[in-house]
Amino acid sequence: MPRFFILLLLAIAVYGQEKEQKLLAILRTVDDGDPPVEITELNFLTLRLREIAGNVLQNNYGIMTEQSIIDKLGKENAVKACKETEGCLAQLGKRINADYIGQARLGRFGGNLTISVELYNSGNGLQASPTITGQAENVSGLLAILDEKAPGMFGKMPDALGGSKAHIVPAHTASVTFAISSFRDSRDNKTYKVVKIGTQTWMAENLNYETDKSWCYDNAKFNCDKYGRLYDWNTAKNVCPSGWKLPSRSEWTDLILTVGKKDAWKKLRSRDWQGTDDFGFSALLGGRRNTGGSYSYLGENGRWWTSDLNDEGSNAYYQFINYADYIDENSRPNDLTQGYSVRCVMGSPESNIAKPAIANSNITNKKSDNIFIDLRDNQEYKFVEIGRLVWMTKNMNYEIGTSYCYEKDAFNCKKYGRLYDWKTAKEVCPNGWHLPTRREWHDLIRSVDEKTTTVFSDISKELFGNLMGGKETSAIDNAVSGKRLKSTEYKGTDNYGFSALLGGGRNDTGFFYIDKGAAWWTATEANNDKKAYDMYIYLNEDIVKEGIFGKSDGYSVRCVKDYK
């Protein structure tokens, strides 16, 4: 073959490999009808469209996530129904830099739900594929229409390949994401909605598998259809289908921390019971069956078994949500024959084997294996609740803005995290987390050291901050907080899993004090625009100190979880 043609073929191959991935945005499904379809079911349709698009288009297209669309459009426009203004969808597509954009819209005809799905080329404003339409009695029927017709619609797009699921474009600021799908229990062919919240995948309905030692509230089948069955604990621990399990206390706690502990009851509870159901979990208040066979509390509270026994092994813990404003976990002095609801979480069946809880078990002031994944770079951070706040247990290591590895050594970034100037420190925590304020640091110190008092006094003392160019301006009178927060690598006891490492600092003279001391920025400015507060710990001291330092210095960042 002539050399010219070989080079031409190579050039074409290289071009094909380097061709930029196109973006497709599917806006939320909207409903024009009355009564409205529940938002969780609308989300279900949206997610199915995105999934089908991914299957057809593969890696030639990135399918934009819900959060990435909201980040660019704002929440109102992300769910906007483009039915009256010509070119509306294409205009929205341009605003978010999507090459193509689509949306499904529901209506009513006779007694049926109708669906139409439009897909536009954002660049030229023209429809990229004919509108698909259909009608069905319920949302399940609409899903079947999408399964039948949507592959053909996406298949008409340029470079559609078919086959496995496409790459999903991550939301650069999302920390809590949720997606809805479904699962069919092969034992009785019942179908359950499934929701992924953070890193966990839960059934979005109570289990309704009939087996021994399970009951319908008041022995009425319609209560099983709506609320699921009530199970005694020994049945509950083994009743979830293969690939699912009865959740532990810690898994319930992880769910609550993920959605935000404040008002978690409202965020998880179904709208039927005055909840907001922000994540599609749809908790219903199904009451309980008492040991003697009577029933109580339907519509007043819901109780879900956990897999954990108490210390004596005589009672089991359960998760509790009531009609008012309360969510808690409890172990009551009753036997295991009470009938409570079951909400299965995805996981290995082997982990259904319950173990007695540790005495005084509580996530507060305990080390934790909870993990947060920063979707910007997929780095993992453990987190732990100490006192009233949830803290990451290692320093941030996201490369952004003015930030450094100590001595420009990547190994130091991996171990100690990066050092940030104050402006970058305020921006570096991922969505759902923030740079802690001075008072939030004080809250941490009080939580780990019962002898702590805070005296704001503007007393200036020299400290190793002299080397950093800082002054101590208030006395944080504490005895052992530094020791209890420090890693055992640095003469600490690390009682709470905070695992503070002494990563040093950086100023205009260079790097200093690694393995001897560390400072962490707070979000609180000092009384001028050039300095801010930070907290620091020495190797040979047992306390946490506070200082004021120049905003251009480089110090560590430890993020704390948002709360409302």
CB atoms within 10 A of CB 266: 18
Which letter does DSSP use for residue 435 in this model?
P
Q: Which amino acid is at 540?
A: N
The pLDDT of residue 83 is 57
Q: CB-based contacts of 433: which residues, under 8 Å, 6+ apart? A: 175, 372, 392, 559, 560, 561, 562
| Straight-line distance from the first to the last Cα atom of the chain, in angstroms, rounded to the nearest whole number | 69
What are all long-range contacts of 199-203, with beta carbons under 8 Å and residues at least 24 apart?
199/258, 199/371, 199/373, 200/251, 200/254, 200/255, 200/258, 200/345, 200/346, 201/345, 201/346, 202/247, 202/255, 202/281, 202/343, 202/344, 202/345, 202/346, 203/244, 203/343, 203/344, 203/345
The pLDDT of residue 398 is 94
- List the domain boundaries for the chain: 21-169, 178-352, 370-561
Q: Dihedral through CA 219, CA 220, CA 223, CA 225, nearest 10?
A: 110
556/541 Cα distance (integer angstroms) = 19
The pLDDT of residue 228 is 96
pTM of the model: 0.38
Q: Where are the alpha helices (DSSP H) in 399-544?
A: 410-416, 422-428, 438-448, 465-468, 481-485
At residue 460, what are phi and psi to the nearest 5 degrees? Answer: -100, 130
Which helix (H) or strand (E) segment holds residue 256: the answer is helix 249-259
Any bridge partners for residue 403, and if so which?
420
The pLDDT of residue 559 is 95
CA 141, 44, 271, 319 dihedral sign is positive
Residue 531 contacts residue 471 (beta carbons within 8 Å): no
368/257 Cα distance (integer angstroms) = 12
Omega before residue 333 within 30° of 0, cis: no
75/407 Cα distance (integer angstroms) = 43
β-bridge pairing 100-109 and 22-26 = parallel
> Which of the residues in the chain have pLDDT under 50?
4-8, 10-19, 84, 162-177, 326, 329-333, 349-368, 454-476
From the candidate CATH numbers 3.40.50.10070, 3.40.640.10, 3.40.630.10, 3.40.50.300, the one assigned to the domain spanning 21-169: 3.40.50.10070
Which letter does DSSP use for residue 357 in this model?
P
The pLDDT of residue 67 is 67
